[in-house]
Amino acid sequence: MFEKGQRCQIRIDDMGSEGQGIGRADGLAVFVPGAVAGDLVTVELTKVKKRYAFSKLVSVDEPSPHRIEPLCGAAGCGGCGLALLDYEGQLAIKEKQVRDKLSRLGGLEDPLVRPIVGMDEPFRYRNKAQFPVSTGGIITRKGGVVENLGEPAIGFYKVKSHEVVDCGDCMLQSAAAMAAADALRRFMAEDNITAWDERWEKGLMRHLIVKTAFGTGEVMVVLVINGKGIPNGQKLVEMLDEAIYEAGYSLESVILNINKKKTSQIMGEECIPFAGKPTILEQVGDLSFEISPMSFYQVNPVQMRVLYDQARKYAGLTGKENVLDLYCGVGSIGLYLAREAANVVGIESVKNAVLDANRNAVINGIVNARFVCGRAEEELPQLLEDGGSDEMITDCVQNADVAILDPPRAGCDRRLLEAVAAVGVQRIVYVSCDPATLARDVKVLTELGYEFVEATPVDMFPWTVAVETVCLLSKLKSTNTI
Ligand SMILES: C[S@@+](CC[C@H](N)C(=O)[O-])C[C@H]1O[C@@H](n2cnc3c(N)ncnc32)[C@H](O)[C@@H]1O
């Protein structure tokens, strides 16, 4: 029996969702912040439950061969959960997590999990930076004049708080994003621009969002503000333009996003084009995609191609198949596969993303893909039962051969999985950003008449705990050739 305050020595063999080490003491799972997979550590238990315990690290008695010094001085920002593990160690732990989850939660005995596909250069891979802005608080002087208490800080929230850790350089962000942050920091200091203070619900600048299209070099800056405009805003545009140009990119779009609410939601509903174009253009292989301020777009374009190529391989298209692209976002997977399919129908719940998806089809001259707005778990059963006014959509849904599922972290609604099984597709390609919900859904699909064939993890987010997986399930029993 373990109790609070007790010390014990354990070997760390897993990492938790916040990057803490996990080891076992007589079957009890012990969470250890600051420990990494492979470490032998002494810990002091701080809270003991029936099956698990929390602890604090007392000493690292035998460091893991993969333990390294923290990636950067801004450690504490909470972004890099695996900042103390080298890249090889990160890949090993992610692959293990996918295998473990598929066995334990998916009920699969010895699932075939291919080696994880990592990056050659796991730095500056993010095409979207999202920095909170602070000046450490504001004060209101006589006459209602609002003033900052400190210097502008642009970076990340400290773990479990809304305190902004200023970040001069983040190795995960593009050079354009860091240049934009630097320009905004200088502008705010020179022009005494206030930052949002959530205690008083006052202050102008809330977030800086920078989207970088690596394929074309185009950059969009979104300034989330609590107001209608930015005093001397033209000067800021010029400073951003110069800084981003010096970083080797081209500022093509500046958007003001209005968010006046006390909310943890980063963006408000209203976007006002402030300078340049309302969208930027990205190039992926021979496809072009318009990127708008609000729609979801994969954040790691290098690994996005790896992911989509794996999905294409698993889809096994010959040109005759009807493909469903469920949870399709701006249609990128469906459009990537469209030239090798008969027809593609995508379903997505965010209206703007559906508009982008249909526009992306037009931009690329793709005529055999349509995108429908709605909740996939409601829209698919309905199209299956009643059809719709568009013949191509009805035919594609009712005679679909392949379904791509790419849900958010929560995974798929059971009704959607039942509808996919009712369509009777031969192949299901499941793209997942959470191995636990993937495993849960794989279990449901095996109960609905599909067999798990194999999975390939793809590292979309080096240095963080997140892991992406592409998985193939088949209706055909053991007769697949990939
Ligand atoms: C992980 S993203 C995948 C997007 C796209 N497949 C891609 O590769 O860029 C998940 C998408 O599912 C959408 N979504 C969330 N819940 C949904 C639902 N119930 N029905 C349809 N789409 C949904 C989100 O808006 C988001 O665009």
Q: Whose CA is nearest to atom 26 of ligand 1?
A: 329
Confidence band, pLDDT 50/70/90 cuts, at residue 139:
confident
- What pLDDT is attached to residue 276? 97
Pocket test for ligand 1, best of 348, 373, 405 (most atoms within 8 A of CB): 348
Any ligand 1 atom below 6 A from CB of 466: no
pLDDT at 476 over 90: no
**314 found inside a domain:** yes
Q: What is the Å distance from ligand 1's center to 270 Cα?
A: 21
Q: Total domain count for the chain?
A: 3
Q: What is the CATH number of the domain that holds 396?
A: 3.40.50.150
Residues of the chain with pLDDT > 70, as a percent, come to: 98
Last-in-domain residue among 257, 284, 311: 284
Any ligand 1 atom below 6 A from CB of 332: yes
Any ligand 1 atom below 6 A from CB of 353: yes
Mean pLDDT of the chain: 93
Going by C-beta distance under 8 Å and a sequence separation of 6 or more, which residues neighbour residue 436?
101, 105
- What pLDDT is attached to residue 479? 45
223 shares a domain with 335: no
Q: Whose CA is nearest to atom 18 of ligand 1?
A: 375
**74 found inside a domain:** no
Last-in-domain residue among 230, 260, 284: 284
Confidence band, pLDDT 50/70/90 cuts, at residue 263:
confident
The HSE-up count of residue 15 (CA atoms within 13 Å, CB side) is 30
Any ligand 1 atom below 6 A from CB of 352: no
**163 found inside a domain:** yes
440 shares a domain with 304: yes
Binding-site annotation, residues: 298, 327, 348, 406
**80 found inside a domain:** no
For 393-417, write each residue's pLDDT tens digit. Answer: 999 999 999 999 999 999 999 999 9
d(CA 394, CA 387): 5
345 shares a domain with 413: yes
pLDDT at 377 over 80: yes
d(CA 287, CA 333): 11
Any ligand 1 atom below 6 A from CB of 298: yes
343 shares a domain with 210: no
**76 found inside a domain:** no
Domain assignment of residue 214, given as a range? 128-284
Any ligand 1 atom below 6 A from CB of 180: no
For 101-120, write each residue's pLDDT tens digit. Answer: 999 999 999 999 999 999 99
What average pLDDT does range 231-260 have in this prediction? 98
Going 290 to 295 to 300 to 305, the CA torsion angle's sign is negative
pLDDT at 191 over 50: yes
For 33-67, write each residue's pLDDT tens digit. Answer: 999 999 999 999 999 999 999 999 999 999 999 99
Q: Can 433 be counted among the known catalytic residues?
A: yes
**138 found inside a domain:** yes
Q: What is the CATH number of the domain that holds 229?
A: 2.40.50.1070
311 shares a domain with 250: no
- What pLDDT is attached to residue 76? 63
Confidence band, pLDDT 50/70/90 cuts, at residue 264:
confident
314 shares a domain with 272: no
Going by C-beta distance under 8 Å and a sequence separation of 6 or more, which residues neighbour residue 14?
21, 22, 23, 37, 93, 96, 97, 100
178 shares a domain with 53: no
Contact 244, 277 (CB under 8 A): no
Confidence band, pLDDT 50/70/90 cuts, at residue 481:
very low
144 shares a domain with 107: no
433 shares a domain with 355: yes
For 270-289, write each residue's pLDDT tens digit. Answer: 999 999 999 999 998 899 99
Q: What is the Å distance from ligand 1's center to 87 Cα?
A: 29
399 shares a domain with 264: no
| Nearest of 468, 476, 410 to residue 449 by alpha carbon | 476
What average pLDDT does range 142-146 have in this prediction? 81
Q: Could you identify the atom of ligand 1 that is nearest to the CA of residue 304?
A: 8
Confidence band, pLDDT 50/70/90 cuts, at residue 482:
low
Binding-site annotation, residues for S-adenosyl-L-methionine: 298, 327, 348, 406
**291 found inside a domain:** no
Q: At what angle do helices 414-423 and 376-386 cross, to 10 degrees?
A: 30
410 shares a domain with 347: yes
**79 found inside a domain:** no
- What pLDDT is attached to residue 294? 86
320 shares a domain with 219: no
